[in-house]
Amino acid sequence: MLLSALSAVLSLAGSAAAALTYKGVDWSSVPVEEKAGVSYKNVNGAAQSIEHIFRDSGVNTVRQRVWVNPSGGTYNLAYNINLAKRAKNAGLGVYIDFHFSDTWADPAHQAIPSGWPTAIDDLAWKLYNYTLDASNQFHDNGVQPTIISIGNEITGGLLWPTGGTSSWYNIARLLHSASAGIRDSRLNPKPKIMIHLDNGWNWDTQNWWYTNVLKQGPLVSSDFDMMGVSFYPFYTPSATLSALKSSLTNMANRWGKELVVAETDWPSSCPNPAYAFPSDAKNIPFNAAGQSQWIKAVANVVASVPKGKGLFYWEPAWIHNANLGSSCANSCMFSNSGQALSSLSVFHNI
């Protein structure tokens, strides 16, 4: 059993370059780190703007989370427009991840922004105007995002309680409105619109969710172009590479959308993991070489699937939050001093 798992992951990690369309990182917290005094350096130790470090390492697209009215302004629209301009000036594509909340939106949190209505008709109208206005503001500032996600990890719905899974119709209505605002904006060319769920390895979850939301009526297939998934190895041993491949293949065959791993990480240090790691990843070390091996393995899974388009590493430069939400000590791709690890160059090879 161990030998077959080892063979499988070596095959995935060592196969030919995946040649993904989107080779990306989430860099949402870079301005927070820079404000705290971090000066980023390339793998050779030379100070360099991080957008150019990413570009020179093979990254072609950066992901940014947008909160509505966050305390202090961090991650709000103005923050993201300024950050996106830096990406554009470095020749990087921009992927906007709307959380539709004033703070974190994820499977456990999807709070309606302060001051937004809760009645479904009013909330859908508010959401339409929010995505319309935000999209127009990016356009008017010279930024044309290549991807926009309408919600973040919305497996449990969005804009709770109105858009919870107790009303699949409301979820469908809200997503249609969010999409329509982007489609009606001045953005040109129009970005790919993504729906993003967690647990990309779990086909049962993906099938349950999309089957329920698409049969309601308001959300139609033409409202979105991409299905994004989160895929982390440190929360359950069930998150195997083989399960991811099976799930993505089923998604491609059933719905025919472009597919992206919108979030993934691998630890450079994990002395006391809270959960067992997946069986077909147990030979991957917890270091920079292991990060490269994991990213190649995931990239090759994505590339092997019909319409598999991209991979995004979540917050590799957030060195003051180095565990990145896991029980591992460090999953960043930069050292504590801000120097890029050797693993960052893996993006040249996917």
Q: Is 153 tagged catalytic? A: yes
* Set 33, 51, 153, 258: catalytic member: 153
262 vs 244: CA distance, rounded Å = 13
Kindly report whether the global pTM for this prediction surpasses the value 0.85: yes
pLDDT at 18: 54
Report which secondary-structure segment, H or E, holds 97: strand 93-98
pLDDT at 240: 98
pLDDT at 167: 98
pLDDT at 256: 98
Q: What stretches in the chain show pLDDT beneath 70?
A: 1-18
Q: Is 315 tagged catalytic? A: no
pLDDT at 329: 97
324 vs 262: CA distance, rounded Å = 15
* Set 33, 51, 258, 263: catalytic member: 263
